[in-house]
Amino acid sequence: MVLPLIVTAVAFVFGAMLLNQYRERRKPYQLVWAGALFMGCLAGLTFVLFLADGRSVFFFRAYYIFGALLMAAYLGLGEIYLLASRRAADITALTVVVLSVIGLSFISIAPVDATLLHGSNVEGGANAISGPAVVFIAVLNAFGAVAVIGGAGYSAYRVWKRRSPTRFLAANVLIAGGTLLASLAGTLARVTSSGGSFWALLAAGFVVLFVGFLLTAAPRQSVTERGATASN
């Protein structure tokens, strides 16, 4: 339970910081990122409750919704709000919300193979949920990973071009690397005999992401000034 609790704690602290910054600056991407991180927090917490409650289907389904379906997509949506025009971001948000609602509906009614929930690979899903829900999970996760990694890469390029301080370049590399680790977590958990790698990679990804954002903080600057610095 230690690694899920680490994910829960890091996601909560990170999300709370962004929410506090949103109260001060009212930037949409801060609110979206905070929401995504609270989803990550809930994913870790519901997985702990899943284990504590005898591996119940209810908590597994909740863990799958917050973690597998929603979190990555809304991290990506926050990146779109950071780098794209407001109109493009709003259209993307509508698309993501619609896909999320449909995916959530499919997960809510999908049969769960309870016998698989007691396996060692349950962290990555262990194919316990199948059907149309899997398609929406794949699409939303792919969008989230591409948006965050691509956005961080673009910001890193702008930082390099403007010859900004090296720490901003390092921050964007860490953000891309942290997202990649988190994206790899589910994939590797599905192809290995043990799900232990899932939480190890996910916890590492969250920590690396957090450090990347913290590196962008300069005196009297928001933690999320990465985007403003990189895109000007």
Q: How far is CA 26 from CA 81, 94, 154, 222, in A?
A: 12, 20, 24, 12
219 pLDDT more than 60: no
Least confident range of 6-20, 121-135, 194-208? 121-135
Query: b/e map of 188-222 (b: 16 or more CB within 10 Å)?
Result: bbeeeeebebbbbbbbbbbbbbbebbebbbeeeeb
Q: For the chain, which domains are there?
A: 2-231 (1.20.1070)
Least Cα distance to 152 among 198, 202, 208, 102 occurs for 208
**Other CB atoms within 10 Å distance of the CB of residue 24:** 9
The answer to whether 209 and 149 are in contact (CB under 8 A) is no
pLDDT beyond 60 at 37? yes
Q: Is the pLDDT of residue 188 over 80?
A: no
pLDDT tens-digit readout, 118-172: 766 666 555 678 789 889 988 998 999 899 889 888 888 887 888 777 777 888 8
Q: Which residue has the higher pLDDT, 176 or 221?
A: 176
**Can you give the pLDDT at residue 223?**
40
Residue 189 confidence (pLDDT): 59
Check pLDDT > 60 for residue 232.
Answer: no
- The tokens for 164 are 């900004």
**Weakest mean pLDDT among 31-35, 112-116, 176-180:** 112-116
* pTM given for the model: 0.84
Per-residue pLDDT, 126: 55
Q: List the single range of 51-55, 108-112, 224-228 with lowest mean pLDDT.
A: 224-228
Hey, is 112 helix, strand or coil?
Answer: strand
Task: Share the mean pLDDT of the chain.
Answer: 83
Residue with the bigger pLDDT between 231 and 191: it is 191
